[in-house]
Amino acid sequence: MTGRAMPYHCPYCADEDLRPHGERHGAWECRSCLRAFSLSFIGQLNPAHIPGRREA
Q: Is 43 left (phi over 0), alpha (psi -120 to 50) or beta?
A: left
Q: How many C-beta atoms lie closer than 10 Å to residue 20's C-beta?
A: 12
Could you tell me the sign of the dihedral formed by the alpha carbons of 8, 36, 44, 52, in that order? negative
Q: pTM value?
A: 0.67
Instruction: List strand residue ranges (DSSP E) for 1-56, in order.
Output: 18-20, 27-30, 35-38
What is the tens place of the pLDDT at every residue in 5-17? 789 999 999 999 9
Give the N- to C-terminal CA distance of the chain in Å, as an integer: 28
User: φ and ψ at 48, to 5 degrees?
Assistant: -70, -20
pLDDT tens track for 28-54: 999 999 999 998 888 888 888 888 877
